[in-house]
């Protein structure tokens, strides 16, 4: 936290996205007659510095600095009262128990991760550097604790919601989880944090119908696999395609009684707000309306940001804010606001840390954003989102409820088309 006061990338503007004025405080985005609104419970923020002790090689994208700087930026916002302290309920993470991990992973796999870390420590000591564990996955002496904390943090947020202490929650975790398969680590992931949370929500709190929304630029193959036969856990993913890890075609729909509960939205590289916005309004909303979830989990990866080195998408911080707000509104409508955001990817340091802070701001009920990076450069062409959406309507037999644009007329981006009201 020592670098907080002079953190170079603390943006000097926090923009209420609904206002044309460039430099107002977050408070200005709030309604003026606040006294007539019922008191809103805070957002649980679950974090533990021990998650920084999962070390990786030089130049590996998934670094401890992502979280370290994200939490420093959040703490700075709270300290300067830009983000009111009473809106955030800070909670320490706890490690997921073995039984909790075994709801989605095999006993042999969990033992393999634990043993590998123990042997590394015995062989090379607590200061040992990272060693390769699987493709794109390294472990260091702190990795088992870090990974179990990453899987346990969302459970702490769910408890805070279930016990009536928080409105929603943000598990700011690493290593990420959505590529982790039942018996295999991959893509920077050891345990599937969001999947463990889905099972916990069902078993501890009786929230049987779980909607998992995943806007990370990569397809969450592990999450899809774990719930592929499960009708109660709907997995909705937008992702660049074809791209790592190769799964996520729209024709992957689930199997058996789970058929139809997997909803993949593969998107071409270059997709920006003009594609994501109608997909969230016209595909995700009818999906949520049809299932009426008991709780929503959001796999929040910020690697669809236009600056991200691992993706080719064109989203900005404001776009991530709006997608998070959309999901939060969905939770308010269907499940008393029960929403836990679980951190996944995002590898441009400024983009990911500002998106982390912006996500927390959104969860507390504000549409203020932190952004020193701006919008993606103009694009001369645009993708045909109508064709993408109508294909999804056919595949998933969708109909009915849709949402109007959040910021109609407020936002002018070069790739934005005039909105049609047809079918709204
Ligand atoms: Zn990713």
Q: pLDDT digit string (tens) for 54-113?
A: 999 999 999 999 999 999 999 999 999 999 999 999 999 999 999 999 999 999 999 999
Please tell me the distance between residue 20's alpha carbon and the centre of ligand 1 in angstroms.
32
Averaged pLDDT of the chain: 89
Q: Nearest Cα to 303, choosing from 380, 255, 243, 379?
A: 243
In a domain, 135, yes or no: yes
CA distance 387 to 284: 16
- pLDDT over threshold 90, residue 160: yes
Please tell me the distance between residue 25's alpha carbon and the centre of ligand 1 in angstroms.
31
End-to-end alpha-carbon separation of the chain, Å? 48
- And the tokens for 133? 């564990």
Mean pLDDT of 374-380: 87
In a domain, 10, yes or no: no
- pLDDT over threshold 70, residue 258: yes
The pLDDT assigned to 55 comes to: 98
Is 179 one of the annotated active-site residues of the chain? yes
- pLDDT over threshold 90, residue 355: yes
Q: Read off the pLDDT band of 413 (50, 70, 90).
A: very low
- And the tokens for 306? 């236009």
Residue from 55, 178, 179, 219 carrying the catalytic annotation:
179
The pLDDT assigned to 383 comes to: 81
Mean pLDDT of 396-410: 73
Is residue 277 helix, strand or coil? helix
Please tell me the distance between residue 313's alpha carbon and the centre of ligand 1 in angstroms.
12
Please tell me the distance between residue 217's alpha carbon and the centre of ligand 1 in angstroms.
5
- pLDDT over threshold 80, residue 285: yes
264: phi then psi, degrees, rounded to nearest 5: -100, 135
How many percent of the chain have pLDDT more than 90?
A: 82
CATH number of the domain enclosing 52? 3.40.800.20
- pLDDT over threshold 90, residue 230: yes
3-state helix, strand, coil in the chain (%, to 5): 40, 15, 45
The parent domain of residue 166 ranges over 41-374+381-396
- pLDDT over threshold 60, residue 215: yes
- pLDDT over threshold 80, residue 349: yes
Per the structure, the count of domains in the chain is 1
The pLDDT assigned to 408 comes to: 52
Q: pLDDT digit string (tens) for 6-55?
A: 343 445 445 554 433 333 334 334 444 445 556 799 999 999 999 999 99
In a domain, 112, yes or no: yes
Centre a 10 Å sphere on the Cβ of residue 178 and count the other Cβ atoms it contains. Answer: 30
In a domain, 9, yes or no: no
The pLDDT assigned to 37 comes to: 59
Please tell me the distance between residue 180's alpha carbon and the centre of ligand 1 in angstroms.
12
Q: Nearest Cα to 269, choosing from 214, 237, 306?
A: 306
Please tell me the distance between residue 35's alpha carbon and the centre of ligand 1 in angstroms.
41
Please tell me the distance between residue 421's alpha carbon and the centre of ligand 1 in angstroms.
33
């Amino acid at each position: 936290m020592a670098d907080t006061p002079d953190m170079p990338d603390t943006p000097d503007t926090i923009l209420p996205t609904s206002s044309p004025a460039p430099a107002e405080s977050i408070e200005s985005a709030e309604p003026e007659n606040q006294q007539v609104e019922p008191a809103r419970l805070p957002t649980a923020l679950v974090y533990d510095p021990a998650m920084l002790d999962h070390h990786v090689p030089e130049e590996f994208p998934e670094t401890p600095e992502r979280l370290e700087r994200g939490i420093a930026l959040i703490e700075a916002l709270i300290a300067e009262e830009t983000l009111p302290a009473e809106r955030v309920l800070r909670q320490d993470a706890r490690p997921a128990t073995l039984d909790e991990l075994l709801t989605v992973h095999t006993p042999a796999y969990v033992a393999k991760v634990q043993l590998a870390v123990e042997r590394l420590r015995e062989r090379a000591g607590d200061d040992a550097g990272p060693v390769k564990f699987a493709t794109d996955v390294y472990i260091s002496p702190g990795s088992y604790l870090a990974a179990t904390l990453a899987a346990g943090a969302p459970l702490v947020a769910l408890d805070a919601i279930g016990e009536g202490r928080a409105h929603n929650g943000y598990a700011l975790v690493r290593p990420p989880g959505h590529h982790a398969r039942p018996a295999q680590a991959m893509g920077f992931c050891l345990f599937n944090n969001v999947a463990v949370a889905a099972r916990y929500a069902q078993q501890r709190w009786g929230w049987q119908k779980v909607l998992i929304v995943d806007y990370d630029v990569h397809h969450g193959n592990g999450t899809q696999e774990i719930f592929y036969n499960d009708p109660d856990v709907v997995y909705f993913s937008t992702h660049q395609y074809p791209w790592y890890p190769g799964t996520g075609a729209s024709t992957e729909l689930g199997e058996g009684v789970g058929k139809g509960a997997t909803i993949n939205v593969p998107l071409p590289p270059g997709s920006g707000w003009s594609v994501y916005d109608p997909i969230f309004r016209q595909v995700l909303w009818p999906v949520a309306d049809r299932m009426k979830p008991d709780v929503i989990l959001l796999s929040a990866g910020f690697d669809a940001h236009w600056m991200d080195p691992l993706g080719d998408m064109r989203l900005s911080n404001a776009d991530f804010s709006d997608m998070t707000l959309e999901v939060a509104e969905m939770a308010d409508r269907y499940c008393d606001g029960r929403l836990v955001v679980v951190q996944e990817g995002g590898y441009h340091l400024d983009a990911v840390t500002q998106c982390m802070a912006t996500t927390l701001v959104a969860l507390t009920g504000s549409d203020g954003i932190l952004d020193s990076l701006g919008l993606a450069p103009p694009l001369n062409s645009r993708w045909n989102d109508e064709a993408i959406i109508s294909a999804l309507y056919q595949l998933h037999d969708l109909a009915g409820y849709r949402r109007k644009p959040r910021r109609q007329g407020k936002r002018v981006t070069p790739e934005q088309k005039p909105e049609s009201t047809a079918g709204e």
